[in-house]
Structure 1
Amino acid sequence: MSFTEHDAAGVAILMWAADPSQPERLATPLFLAAAAAAMDVPVEIYFTAASVHLLVPAVAARLRASPRVDKAIADNLREAVEMGARLFACSDALQAQGLDAAMLMPGCGRGGAVQFMARAIDLRWRTLVF
């Protein structure tokens, strides 16, 4: 099977426990998103709870997954988006975290529990939770 031959309609990734307080947990889900998108698989990343802070460019720019890596989490996000991943911020999480949608990186859509659950119950989609 080649990388582009698959039965999945897409991959939905939920960023929940992966938030700015533990930057070492942030690179892996974004690497996986970029890899799936590079394989021509539609990718949607849903940010909820404190993870919505990652969509604020200044926050993601100052975070590193490791002190030995010079690459910022903002770079990982940018690469995933350049490969085709779509980003969604939970409106309720934005409100709970005191963030305004205007603060988020360009192109970030709104999507929360209903949209993610629609993907999770669709047997053609794969879901990952971080």
Structure 2
Amino acid sequence: MPRLIVVVNDVPEAQAEVPLRYAATAAALDADVELHCVGASVAWLARGAAGQALLDRLRDAVDAGARVYACPQALAVHGVAADALLPEVAGIRGAAALLAAGFAPDARFMNF
């Protein structure tokens, strides 16, 4: 199974639809998809922070099989507590986990 690691770095909510669409589409095509939110992008993973359109796209990706992760350093910098994350967030993973996933022989990165 192909593996896609989607890195979402400092993407404002208004532009988040594109990486979420790629994640959902790849997952629907049976790829193993991880979406890693780093930088300011972690802000829209907090409960109550994102609008309905973004939540719908995020849920589409998760429902298709994509897993969403938040960067622990970005959470700290942006003041987002782990227990404030949306239930769609699969977990918290740092740079080493992101790189390890992307260095797998069958993995590809997309960076936004």
Partner of 1:77: 58
Partner of 1:53: 43
Partner of 1:19: 12
Q: Percent identity?
A: 34
TM-score normalised to structure 1 length: 0.79
TM-score normalised to structure 2 length: 0.91
Cα offset for 1:32?
0.6
Alignment-mate amino acid for residue 32 of structure 2: P
- Structure 1 residue ranges without an equivalent (≥5): 1-6, 63-71
Tell me which moved more, 31-40 or 49-58.
Answer: 49-58
- Structure 2 residue ranges without an equivalent (≥5): none
Partner of 1:100: 81
Question: Which consecutive segments of 4 or more residues in structure 1 shift more than 3 A?
Answer: none
Instruction: Map Cα deviations across residues 24-66 of structure 1 (whole Å, 9 max, x no partner).
Output: x21111011000110111110001111001212322226xxxx
Larger Rg: 1
What is the rounded CA distance, in whole Å, between the counterparts of 2:65 and 2:48 in structure 1?
A: 22
Alignment-mate amino acid for residue 18 of structure 1: V
Partner of 1:126: 108
- Contact preservation (8 Å) 2:59, 2:88: no
- Contact preservation (8 Å) 2:17, 2:57: yes
Aligned residue pairs total 111
